[in-house]
């Protein structure tokens, strides 16, 4: 077996370097490919985060609108409660006035009008008395005329 020539050694050395460079390039290509895949995953994650943030902003705006509406309704409820309280006050006053009016009416009925309720009976009694007196007058006149 003969020893290889310098050219053969150089050629082998070159092939070896090329194989090492090729492996390095392949490894770098794999790293670039892996990095690209990772970047693609990161891009997708960022897009999902953007969509989630958009939903979050929309939800925040909706919650803010809901709280604003609740505050407005709370003001309306307070206005309605104030109106209700005022109405209750008026109703209480009217009921008190009605009670006073009713008591006054009963007093007037008992003191002033009750005697008037007996008026027809009293008039009938008076009419009967007058009729009797007229009959007595007629009888007295007859008895005097007859004398």
> Does some domain include residue 25?
yes
What is the reported pLDDT for 122?
78
Full-prediction pTM beyond 0.75? no
> Does some domain include residue 145?
no
pLDDT in tens, 53-103: 999 999 999 999 998 998 889 888 898 898 888 888 888 888 888 888 888
> Does some domain include residue 24?
yes
> Does some domain include residue 139?
no
pLDDT in tens, 2-38: 787 888 888 889 999 999 999 989 999 999 999 999 9
Higher pLDDT, 57 or 118: 57
Can you say whether residue 78 is alpha, beta or left, with left for phi > 0 and alpha for psi between -120 and 50 degrees? alpha
Tally of structural domains, the chain:
1
**Domain span at 32:** 6-118
Cβ distance 67 to 60 under 8 Å? no
DSSP string, 18-72: HHHHHHHHHHHHHHHHHHHHHHHHHHHHHHHHHHHHHHHHHHHHHHHHHHHHHHH
Buried/exposed code over 101-132 (b: 16+ C-beta within 10 A; e: otherwise): eeeeeeeeeeeeeeeeeeeeeeeeeeeeeeee
> Does some domain include residue 135?
no
Rounded Cα distance, 134 and 104, in Å: 43
């Amino acid at each position: 077996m003969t020893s290889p020539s310098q050219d053969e050694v150089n050629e082998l050395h070159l092939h070896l370097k090329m194989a090492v460079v090729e492996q390095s390039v392949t490894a770098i290509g794999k790293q670039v490919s892996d990095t690209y895949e990772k970047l693609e995953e990161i891009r997708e994650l960022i897009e999902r985060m953007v969509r989630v943030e958009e939903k979050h902003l929309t939800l925040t705006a909706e919650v803010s609108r809901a709280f604003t509406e609740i505050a407005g309704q709370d003001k309306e409820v307070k206005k309605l409660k104030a109106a209700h309280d005022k109405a209750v006050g008026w109703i209480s006053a009217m009921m008190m006035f009605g009670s006073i009016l009713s008591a006054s009416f009963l007093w007037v009925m008992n003191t002033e009008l009750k005697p008037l309720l007996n008026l027809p009976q009293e008039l009938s009694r008076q009419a009967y008395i007058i009729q009797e007196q007229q009959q007595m007058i007629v009888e007295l006149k007859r008895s005097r005329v007859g004398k």
